[in-house]
């Protein structure tokens, strides 16, 4: 298990007379652990996907039907080269999910996918922390020399989160999803 407890928020506020003061800092203790995904996690994770568009952003159309069932998640991960993880807090509550996989036989590259955080916790640093833990695991456990992922252009908050942990855009792609063209960015972290 990989665990991290560090997270700092800096609040800025206006001072009478103009200007911005960013001296107030609040330490937020988000304790998170990555553990292997189990079928019992699936209903919780799937409950965060509120509509078909959110489902497509999360799954990139990898599932045959919407809405997916817990068994569909298990089937999606039924290969030796896919490693799904669940992020939990200190209370044991499921707060996120991420999948690592080897996209080719060289096993020097890890591809991240199916990244999602509890919709009630988004925008609070959980996604960033989960990514940092997954990056540590990819490098230290799986021996990754490079880590990649894809993100759709209609998901700017995810793009920002990936950039915040060091991913850089290396290309663009387009896909047909539900009869529409979706554009996206290919990202990489060395």
pLDDT over threshold 50, residue 6: no
Query: Is residue 12 assigned to a domain?
Result: no
pLDDT over threshold 70, residue 43: yes
Query: Is residue 5 assigned to a domain?
Result: no
Distance from C-alpha of 99 to C-alpha of 84, rounded to nearest angstrom: 4
Query: Is residue 4 assigned to a domain?
Result: no
The CATH number given to whatever domain includes residue 118 is 3.40.630.30
pLDDT at 178: 85
Query: Is residue 1 assigned to a domain?
Result: no
DSSP structure string for 147-174:
EEEEEETT-HHHHHHHHHTT-EEEEEEE
pLDDT at 29: 54
Distance from C-alpha of 31 to C-alpha of 5, rounded to nearest angstrom: 4
Distance from C-alpha of 137 to C-alpha of 126, rounded to nearest angstrom: 17
Summary mean pLDDT of the chain:
88
Model confidence pLDDT, tens digit, residues 121-157: 999 999 999 999 999 999 999 999 999 999 999 999 9
Range(s) of the domain holding residue 174 = 31-189
pLDDT over threshold 50, residue 63: yes
118 contacts 96 by C-beta, under 8 angstroms: yes
Q: Taken in order 49, 121, 183, 77, is the CA torsion positive or negative? A: negative
Q: What would the mean pLDDT of 98-119 be, rounded to a whole number?
A: 97
Q: What would the mean pLDDT of 146-175 be, rounded to a whole number?
A: 97
Distance from C-alpha of 80 to C-alpha of 50, rounded to nearest angstrom: 30
Number of compact structural domains in the chain:
1
Model confidence, pTM? 0.84
Query: Is residue 118 assigned to a domain?
Result: yes
Model confidence pLDDT, tens digit, residues 66-96: 999 999 999 999 988 999 999 999 999 999 9
pLDDT over threshold 50, residue 18: no
- Burial track 81-98 (b if 16+ CB lie within 10 A, e otherwise): ebbbbbbbbeeeebbbbb
Query: Is residue 99 assigned to a domain?
Result: yes
Query: Is residue 24 assigned to a domain?
Result: no
Query: Is residue 21 assigned to a domain?
Result: no
pLDDT over threshold 60, residue 23: no
Q: What would the mean pLDDT of 157-182 be, rounded to a whole number?
A: 96
């Amino acid at each position: 298990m990989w665990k991290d407890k560090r997270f700092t928020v800096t609040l800025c506020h206006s001072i009478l007379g103009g200007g911005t003061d960013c001296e107030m800092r609040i330490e937020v203790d988000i304790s998170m652990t990555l553990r292997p995904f189990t079928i019992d996690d699936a209903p919780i994770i799937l409950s965060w996907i509120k509509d078909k568009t959110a489902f497509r952003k999360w799954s990139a159309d990898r599932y045959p039907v919407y809405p997916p069932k817990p068994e569909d998640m298990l089937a999606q991960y039924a290969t030796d080269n896919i490693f799904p993880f669940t992020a939990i807090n200190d209370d044991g509550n499921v707060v996120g999910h991420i999948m690592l996989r080897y996209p080719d036989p060289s096993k020097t590259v890890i591809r991240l996918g199916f990244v999602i955080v509890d919709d009630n916790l988004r925008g609070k640093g959980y996604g960033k922390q989960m990514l940092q833990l997954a990056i540590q695991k990819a490098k230290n456990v799986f021996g990754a020399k490079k880590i990649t992922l894809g993100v759709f252009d209609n998901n700017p908050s995810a793009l920002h989160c990936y950039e915040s942990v060091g991913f850089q855009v290396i290309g663009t792609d387009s896909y047909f999803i539900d009869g529409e063209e979706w554009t996206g960015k290919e990202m990489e972290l060395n």
